[in-house]
Amino acid sequence: MLASRGSCEELLNPPLPLKLNQIHGGDALQLVPSVPDGSVDLIICDGPYGTQSHAWDQIPNIQEFNLTLIRMFSVKLKHGGALYLFGKSNCLDFIDYRPYLTLCSRIIWFQPNRLSQGRINYTNNYDIICYFIKGHRLRVFNLDDIRVPQLVELEHRLRCEKVPSVSNGKFSKTKFNQKGKNPGDVWGDIKQLTYKSHELISRAALNTIQKPEKLIERLVKASSLPNDLVLDPFCGTGTCPVVCQRLGRNFIAIESDHDFINVANTRLKRTMNHVRVPQKLPSSQLKNLLTHAAPLHN
């Protein structure tokens, strides 16, 4: 079961501006505008998909909803800052996001072990994570922090070194990096949580709600630096705040469900003793946030 209802009035009525390193109760569409413009390094947006029976997921036109989010987030991001927007394969269909952000990748999060099976169509085995940046020059992409093991055997790898490969239309030597390879844009190595996962906070959070920490960790490591500011407008069970706390990133998290807020706060408390505390952000743009910043350690 999720944590019992607590002082939800308190949770659902945060004073503005939003405090750093806290989970704020309320509607993301109302609260995000109070984040200072151009202050956010990374946004992890795992919000409604428009496919589930939960009341919060009943969005009549998910594409228009996503466009509204993209427009709102583009103002909050720093130049070169990144947005990861979760959704189904159609989540960007027929909308023009190009005036706001640059789409760099549509990452496929491949989940071959989904239990529900289609009868009149192919079973959907993946989610999409749309990776955008603001402008055309990205601020950060820490490839070395997210490399995955090379899949080929050593002998074959060494042979590959001598095999020419084509990049940008030119032949060059195939590179073998001891540290591992780029994870690419189809991720099958990170499994969806199951009933048996230690991480899972409740069965109610299975299927499209609670994401594996490893998944969010890859995004945070790739597109932010220690002490950066990460915005998670739909934080659910608090996976992204927990990862940020562990990796020494500042965060602003928002969630409308008081049960999830309680769960997320419990997870944050558990993580506290094992983390590097992010330093306060130096930017003068964040003056208000800093004045009201909540300490990570109580």
Ligand X SMILES: C[S@@+](CC[C@H](N)C(=O)[O-])C[C@H]1O[C@@H](n2cnc3c(N)ncnc32)[C@H](O)[C@@H]1O
Q: Does residue number 47 form part of the binding site for ligand X (CB under 6 A)? A: yes
Q: Does residue number 69 form part of the binding site for ligand X (CB under 6 A)? A: no
Task: Determine contact, residues 211/219, Cβ cutoff 8 Å.
Answer: no
Q: Does residue number 257 form part of the binding site for ligand X (CB under 6 A)? A: yes
Q: Does residue number 271 form part of the binding site for ligand X (CB under 6 A)? A: no
Q: Report the 3 state secondary structure along 148-195.
A: ECCCCCHHHHHHHHCCEEEECCEEEECCCCCCCECCCCEECCCCCCCC
Nearer to ligand X, 177 or 207 (CB): 207
Please select the residue that binds ligand X; options are 21, 192, 256, 262, rule is CB under 6 A.
256
Stretch of residues binding ligand X (CB under 6 A), selected from 119-127, 151-159, 173-181, 254-262: 254-262
# chain residues binding ligand X, by CB under 6 A: 21
- The four Cα atoms 49, 55, 61, 64 give a dihedral, to 10 degrees, of -70
Please report, for the chain, how many H helices and E strands are present, in that order: 8, 10
Nearer to ligand X, 190 or 281 (CB): 190
> Which residues ranging from 22 to 41 are in contact with ligand X (CB under 6 A)?
27-29
Q: Which amino acid is at 273?
A: N
Stretch of residues binding ligand X (CB under 6 A), selected from 134-142, 203-211, 223-231, 283-291: 203-211
Q: Does residue number 259 form part of the binding site for ligand X (CB under 6 A)? A: no
Task: Determine contact, residues 3/237, Cβ cutoff 8 Å.
Answer: no
Task: Determine contact, residues 142/111, Cβ cutoff 8 Å.
Answer: no
Please select the residue that binds ligand X; options are 209, 229, 230, 261, rule is CB under 6 A.
209
Neighbours of 187 (CB within 10 A): 19
> Which residues ranging from 211 to 250 are in contact with ligand X (CB under 6 A)?
211, 234-237, 239
Please select the residue that binds ligand X; options are 22, 66, 208, 224, rule is CB under 6 A.
208
CB of 283 to ligand X, least distance (A): 25
Q: Dihedral sign, CA of 75, 76, 77, 78?
A: positive
Q: Indicate the DSSP class of residue 57.
A: G
CB of 207 to ligand X, least distance (A): 10
Q: Is 271 helix (H, G, I), strand (E, B) or coil?
A: helix
Stretch of residues binding ligand X (CB under 6 A), selected from 3-11, 44-52, 164-172, 266-274: 44-52
Q: Does residue number 21 form part of the binding site for ligand X (CB under 6 A)? A: no
Task: Determine contact, residues 44/81, Cβ cutoff 8 Å.
Answer: no
CB of 235 to ligand X, least distance (A): 6
Nearer to ligand X, 21 or 210 (CB): 210
Query: Cα 137 to the chain's mean position, in Å?
Result: 20
Q: For strand 77-87 and strand 126-133, is the pairing parallel, antiparallel, or unpaired? A: antiparallel
Nearer to ligand X, 114 or 173 (CB): 114
Q: Does residue number 260 form part of the binding site for ligand X (CB under 6 A)? A: yes
Task: Determine contact, residues 254/235, Cβ cutoff 8 Å.
Answer: yes
Please report, as ranges, the residues that interact with ligand X according to CB under 6 A: 27-29, 46-48, 56, 208-211, 234-237, 239, 254-257, 260
